[in-house]
């Protein structure tokens, strides 16, 4: 049976010393903290990527809206000065562009909401600290 982290079997006649137990605790705590920090970095990287995607889609939607407004203005001008079918077709194009922009904004909002969530690592670190405190008190 191996009770030690390094795979060695403690001698049967003597249990691990207090010094060894403290050393193991220190090693394990250090590894745990490093792992949690690495996980937090990974979560923040993912959050930054989602924010970038969301902001990129918002920018794209704003460009589309800008063009749609231009088309709608052009459709209004043509509607006043020409026959019905030409401005109606321009109006349909403008409305279609606004629909595309609306879909892009809906996707962007979803991405930004996902990015705004609090990292789970924070909760796990708090749990680890509480567990450590309870272990030290005993």
- Rounded mean pLDDT of the chain? 80
d(CA 20, CA 50): 45
**Residue 80 CB: number of other CB atoms within 10 A?**
8
d(CA 17, CA 8): 15
Closest CA to 17 of 3, 1, 31: 3
d(CA 94, CA 49): 31
Give the tens place of pLDDT for each residue, 37-83: 888 888 888 888 888 999 999 999 999 999 998 887 777 767 656 66
Alpha-helix residue ranges (DSSP H) falling in the chain: 18-81, 84-115, 120-137
Report, as an integer, the average pLDDT of 103-112.
92
Question: What is the per-residue pLDDT for 21?
Answer: 81
Question: What is the per-residue pLDDT for 80?
Answer: 55
**What does the longest C-alpha to C-alpha distance in the chain come to?**
103
């Amino acid at each position: 049976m191996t009770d030690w982290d390094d795979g060695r079997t403690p001698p049967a006649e003597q249990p691990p010393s207090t010094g060894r137990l403290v050393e193991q605790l220190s090693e394990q705590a250090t590894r745990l903290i490093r792992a949690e920090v690495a996980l937090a970095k990974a979560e923040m990287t993912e959050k930054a990527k989602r924010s970038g995607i969301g902001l990129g889609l918002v920018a794209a939607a704003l460009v589309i809206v800008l063009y749609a407004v231009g088309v709608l203005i052009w459709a209004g001008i043509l509607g006043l000065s020409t026959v019905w079918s030409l401005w109606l077709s321009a109006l349909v194009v403008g409305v279609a562009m606004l629909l595309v922009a609306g879909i892009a904004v809906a996707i962007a909002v979803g991405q930004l909401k996902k990015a705004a969530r609090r990292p789970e690592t924070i909760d796990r670190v708090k749990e680890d600290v509480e567990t450590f405190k309870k272990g030290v008190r005993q």
